[in-house]
Structure 1
């Protein structure tokens, strides 16, 4: 969709991330004769497509990775390759506005991250790459208006948990039709599990990825899904990671099974996993890893309408509790001291109408025990209750806080409560736990109801529970947020029928969420 064909409603995006990385240039779209004489590249270098992310009022990150043999290390020569890029105001590229050249380097898997600047606010743009005479597919993206813009509306999609082996990524086909301004992806982009002979689609390789090449191959397989690739080429993504991009339920530098993975071995695995994540995501140079460390928490501004705080709930956390007493230990942290201060400052000083928090794991309580007593998932915020409760206290003084989460493979939409130990405690916000794109596959809905409905009286803050695959769609305006739970009838086939399972509303100035 070109800018001229965009909807009449004013929709906008803004990025407030730190400005680092390659600055945009204005070099010409270089002719083939201007390239250095090198051995020609193999055909199909743009097999992984294109994507954009973290938009700013004057720019956006553009991504591609050269990989003619994507499932076997990439298939590129061991040298840097010049890659030309172009941005235009129209899909036919008759109105080019920015051009330049980047280098795809072997030490970063021949990925390219171009931090384009000098674009106009609030506009749809088209972009493409060229390497050794080969032209990439065209991508579409959108910039932000001026940071002080106070009108308009914003459409966001919330997605997470896409397990290749559990099904096709069919929800993205419907997401593209709904045309969000941006996609907030809150984790589990890949799964590190071993190949299964009974899976809907089998993972590549022979075991869990641990090396850089193995993680690159796994990401390449996931990016080959046609619906995911098309969505990446349609709108900018704001991404973070959860556990399966590395190892299930890891915490900091502690693996799920420390008796089987030594500390040194797991640090090497973290180093490989974080680098592969960077290589395959449209993020700025602030996210270039340093060994087993990567900076992913960041803040995006959507004018004066919304502020989005993107968390990292894995890298800085204490090891998970194993008991109710441990879950209430005030020394445990989910975010680490630095990130916690960063989030609190961002909430307290926000000029935005809506204050959104992208959390990889569920913040509201999940009491699994029917009747007296409590039983929690210790890997979620329930396992870090002192820190969670501090934020619930803070939310009382924050304008319109809304948490967007994933991980659970279920739609779980809740009121956020000041104190979950007190049934009469005040509501301080709302949380949307998005269902999975494909993880858990086509679930037995009757079995889900038999398991979860008996728990609802012990969790009166839950407003909606469901086990279909899909995503959440939000139309954010000054007066409120209109949310849709979009689902598909199957992920076992390459195509599916989408529908709206439910509609919900969050009113500005009134904490909590209601089913419409």
Structure 2
């Protein structure tokens, strides 16, 4: 991989509802806003002919800090080009960018030029600094005469600063063939401060490899992704979706992978099924993930290693401890089948790896935030899926790593964490659960809460099945198998969680409704109340 791109940044001396309504009404993405102070049109920086709009994959921002964030785009004239290069020429292209305090770009505070390199699939990652904390900003990119839509993003509050509220939408699991990404559009309409994506942003599986009862809604391009070109092409197809582009344009995202960004149920160095060249496949998927996500340069992969666990601090209100439960875990116990079989409880087994576990526990000890949220992939609470006295649990979740779960739980208890909440994806269902010290004893102490978001599309259309009590899992307070996302509003006094659902995903445009709501009160572990 080539060295870091050349970067030039210039400092400048010294609403959002308009942005959203304009974006919602845009028929073609990637066009400019036409507002005052637009970037001047022109030919490419090298004077070559205009090949057409290169911004077919949209824009994004992510990982906000008190003085900045990441801005992202990737150039692609032909997103589904077989070679994964997006129909781009084999040369460096200069990409201009601007950040302003207003949507009309009358108060531009940063601008510069970044080089989009062929070796990085012509992706661009900009990391501006020196911005004001806890502020909304607007941004856009330009190549030649082509200007992107305007994006909205924001910085985090200053360290320790009080914050009255924070709205976060959490999503996971978007299989292209299983449905339309309407949930992303509904997320955009929420105008959240932050979007958490907890994995399975893409699915590596090829056409008809992931059947679903409600039928295939739209075709995915190509066979199973295995090479760098395959993964680049798959991301490009997902990135052409207008609802996904809209959700990226209205708020900063914090992203982390699960399994389908590489291979179903992979675990550390182990693929789901034996295969040749897994290291090469892993390196290719990591590289494509970075190229297509609004991630800081600290996450840039080094071969088969890529550090994604990190901490996003939101003033004195909340810390998001973003975990990677795939890259460092031991292989699934019990042959990867359901358990328990005894092996899952071995004390040396870990789902996070020692280094990440120590990083998390140290962060929990040092935290002074009102709320500490563990943003991660697979279900943390025990989930017995077999009715009656016998027990059946998934070895791909924390049930397959019970000693690891115990160490983390004890860690936040011993650290005196004020409000521990686990945010989870993966399972294609909504869950709300109390976290206990002993899941075999319903009378054991409640020490936290878990909120699991269902899938954006994976699983396809679902019936309105739900329960609000399970004798085999008394700590699980709510479950629904419908598609949707999780909306949380965090204040100093409480965290309120709304489980948002869509009646169908097999066609576009579904409305959204709240299936259930729960609250966690400050200083009182567990789910305190729920409403339908």
- Normalised by the length of structure 1, the TM-score is 0.91
- Equivalent residue in structure 2 for 1:282, among 270, 294, 297: 294
* Secondary structure at 2:160 match in 1: coil
Aligned to 1:463: 477
Aligned to 1:220: 236
* Secondary structure at 1:52 match in 2: strand
* Secondary structure at 1:61 match in 2: strand
Alignment pair present for 1:337 and 2:321: no
Aligned to 2:366: 349
Aligned to 2:190: 178
Cα distance change, pair 111–41 in 1 and its aligned pair in 2 (3 A): farther
The answer (yes or no) to whether the contact 2:319–2:372 under 8 Å persists in 1 is yes
Alignment pair present for 1:84 and 2:77: no
Alignment pair present for 1:431 and 2:450: yes
* Secondary structure at 1:457 match in 2: coil
* Secondary structure at 2:451 match in 1: strand
Deviations 1:416-451 (A, max 9, x none): 011113222110000001011111111134xx56xx
Q: CA deviation at 1:30?
A: 8.1
Name whichever of 352-361 and 195-204 sits farther off.
195-204
- Equivalent residue in structure 2 for 1:416, among 421, 431, 435: 435
Map 1:249-328; keep pairs closer than 5 Å: 249-258=265-274, 261-262=275-276, 265-322=277-334, 323-324=339-340, 325-328=342-345
Map 1:20-419; keep pairs closer than 5 Å: 25-26=9-10, 36-72=45-81, 73=84, 74-196=86-208, 199-205=216-222, 207-258=223-274, 261-262=275-276, 265-322=277-334, 323-324=339-340, 325-396=342-413, 397-419=416-438
Q: CA deviation at 1:117?
A: 1.2
Aligned to 1:441: 460
* Secondary structure at 1:246 match in 2: coil
What is the CA–CA distance in structure 2 between the aligned matches of 1:22 and 1:153, rounded to whole Å? 38
* Secondary structure at 2:80 match in 1: helix
Deviations 1:160-181 (A, max 9, x none): 0111111001112221121110
What is the CA–CA distance in structure 1 between the aligned matches of 2:441 and 2:408, rounded to whole Å? 16
What is the CA–CA distance in structure 1 between the aligned matches of 2:185 and 2:72, rounded to whole Å? 21
The answer (yes or no) to whether the contact 2:5–2:114 under 8 Å persists in 1 is no
Alignment pair present for 1:492 and 2:501: no
Aligned to 2:30: none
The answer (yes or no) to whether the contact 1:23–1:117 under 8 Å persists in 2 is no
What is the CA–CA distance in structure 1 between the aligned matches of 2:7 and 2:307, rounded to whole Å? 20
Q: CA deviation at 1:79?
A: 1.1
What is the CA–CA distance in structure 2 between the aligned matches of 1:374 and 1:334, rounded to whole Å? 21
What is the CA–CA distance in structure 1 between the aligned matches of 2:11 and 2:78, rounded to whole Å? 30
Q: CA deviation at 1:24?
A: 6.8
What is the CA–CA distance in structure 2 between the aligned matches of 1:334 and 1:270, rounded to whole Å? 18
What is the CA–CA distance in structure 2 between the aligned matches of 1:471 and 1:347, rounded to whole Å? 27
* Secondary structure at 1:63 match in 2: strand
Cα distance change, pair 238–23 in 1 and its aligned pair in 2 (3 A): farther
What is the CA–CA distance in structure 2 between the aligned matches of 1:24 and 1:63, rounded to whole Å? 16
Map 1:5-24; keep pairs closer than 5 Å: none
Q: CA deviation at 1:32?
A: 6.5
The answer (yes or no) to whether the contact 1:24–1:117 under 8 Å persists in 2 is no
Q: CA deviation at 1:37?
A: 2.8
Name whichever of 75-84 and 196-205 sits farther off.
196-205
Q: CA deviation at 1:140?
A: 0.8
Aligned to 1:8: none
Name whichever of 354-363 and 33-42 sits farther off.
33-42
What is the CA–CA distance in structure 1 between the aligned matches of 2:424 and 2:296, rounded to whole Å? 23
Alignment pair present for 1:505 and 2:505: no
The answer (yes or no) to whether the contact 1:416–1:427 under 8 Å persists in 2 is yes
Q: CA deviation at 1:394?
A: 2.2
* Secondary structure at 2:426 match in 1: coil
- Please report the RMSD computed on the Cα atoms of aligned residues, expressed in angstroms: 1.9
What is the CA–CA distance in structure 2 between the aligned matches of 1:426 and 1:24, rounded to whole Å? 55
**Moved runs in structure 1, 4+ residues, more than 2 A?**
20-24, 27-41, 394-397
Aligned to 1:515: 530
Deviations 1:144-188 (A, max 9, x none): 222121231111111101111110011122211211100011000
Q: CA deviation at 1:373?
A: 2.8
The answer (yes or no) to whether the contact 1:392–1:419 under 8 Å persists in 2 is no
Q: CA deviation at 1:217?
A: 0.7
* Secondary structure at 1:90 match in 2: coil
